[in-house]
């Protein structure tokens, strides 16, 4: 069953931020949203949370009316700008959460902050950037809101903590399924826990697919310049690599040429994202000194 629906949604603030987005996100799924800076990730989540209104199109959140208190209790949006009182301690902020989120899981929060050794008696305003980011991420998870939206929750966290946080997201999702959407620049680290992936590029929806399907969707083939012409014709991207080899990326559905297995490999979701958004030819490089 679909929880979040975008129908031909656009958002502009002088310049277009999102253009003609049509998207269906199922209930109880883990969704990654990725794209380059300025691609519209934050705008997509803010629209889903009801913090922004679309300039065009419609957004529906299951059975909820976005203008009601019930809808806001069912949605948690978290980014670095959510205005927690800086003079409150982490403990005081957590103690008040159940007033806003009926499904608040205080035990999840308590276990997580104990594991990550967050100083709950400290005021939020005096914490480091990483500690603030981790507290916000744990808070969002602990709301158990049916639609939990996190905008780059791992920003400011070191790699070890990021990986432990991803493990916690998966464990908590299994324990209490709901729709969790995470905007991220760390897709290669997070892809193993995701069920759906949304790729935005220059304000447009480039791809929305189940991650398991995506893993079998693209094949990359490398070979000498005499790579079969049929391979080159079927490529969604064709590039000459240093050393003169040819690299072709082909959709599995279009694959109809026999090529030596040593020449080919399937792309991981993070590699698909890189291929689909990379500027053709790569970064210009000059040998002039």
pLDDT in tens, 258-286: 555 545 678 899 999 998 888 655 444 44
Q: Say which CATH number the domain at 77 has.
A: 3.40.50.300
Question: What pLDDT band is residue 105 in, cutting at 50, 70 and 90?
Answer: very high
- Is it the case that residue 72 has pLDDT exceeding 80? no
Both tokens of residue 19?
């253009």
Give the model's pLDDT for residue 64: 67
Q: Which of 26-30, 119-123, 137-141, 229-233 has the lowest mean pLDDT?
A: 229-233
Judgement on whether residues 159 and 260 belong to the same structural domain of the protein: no
Q: What percent of the chain has pLDDT over 70?
A: 89
Do 55 and 72 lie in a common domain? yes
Q: Residues of 253-286 as b/e, b for ≥16 C-beta within 10 angstroms? A: eeeebebeeebbeebbbbbbbebbbeeeeeeeee
Give a yes or no: residue 281 inside a domain: no
Structural element, H or E, at residue 42: helix 41-48
Domain coverage including residue 95: 2-213
What pLDDT sits at residue 228?
73
Are 132 and 154 contacting, i.e. CB atoms less than 8 angstroms apart? no
- Chain mean pLDDT for the chain: 88
Q: Are residues 136 and 233 in the same domain?
A: no
In the chain, count of helices (H) and strands (E)? Answer: 10, 13
pTM above 0.85, yes or no: yes
Residues 233 and 185 in one domain: no
Residues 112 and 253 in one domain: no
End-to-end CA distance of the chain: 59
229 and 209 together in one domain: no
| Domains identified in the chain, total number | 2
Does residue 255 share a domain with residue 194?
Answer: no
One domain for residues 103 and 85? yes
- Chain mean position to CA 196: 9
Residues 181 and 230 in one domain: no
């Amino acid at each position: 069953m679909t929880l979040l629906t975008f129908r031909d949604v656009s958002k502009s603030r002088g310049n277009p931020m999102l253009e003609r987005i049509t998207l269906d996100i199922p209930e109880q799924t883990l969704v990654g949203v990725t794209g380059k800076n300025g691609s519209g990730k934050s705008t997509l989540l803010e629209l889903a949370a009801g913090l922004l209104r679309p300039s065009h199109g419609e957004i529906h959140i299951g059975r909820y009316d976005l203008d009601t208190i019930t809808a806001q209790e069912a949605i948690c949006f978290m980014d670095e700008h959510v205005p927690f009182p800086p003079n409150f301690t982490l403990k005081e902020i957590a103690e008040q959460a159940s007033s806003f989120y009926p499904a608040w899981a205080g035990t999840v929060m308590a276990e997580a902050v104990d594991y990550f050794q967050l100083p709950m008696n400290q005021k939020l305003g005096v914490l480091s950037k990483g500690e603030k980011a981790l507290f916000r991420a744990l808070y969002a998870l602990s709301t158990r809101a049916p639609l939990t939206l996190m905008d780059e929750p791992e920003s400011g966290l070191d790699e070890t903590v990021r990986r432990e946080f991803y493990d916690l997201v998966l464990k908590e999702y299994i324990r209490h399924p709901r729709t969790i959407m995470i905007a991220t620049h760390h897709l290669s680290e997070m892809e193993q826990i995701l069920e759906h992936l949304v790729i935005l590029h220059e304000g447009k929806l480039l791809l929305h697919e189940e991650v398991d399907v995506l893993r079998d969707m693209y094949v990359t083939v490398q070979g000498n310049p005499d790579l079969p012409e049929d391979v080159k014709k079927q490529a969604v991207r064709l590039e000459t690599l240093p050393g003169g080899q040819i690299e072709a990326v082909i959709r599995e559905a279009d694959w109809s040429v026999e090529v030596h297995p040593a020449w080919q490999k399937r792309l991981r979701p993070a590699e698909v994202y890189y291929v689909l958004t990379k500027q053709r030819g790569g970064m210009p490089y000059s040998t002039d000194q």
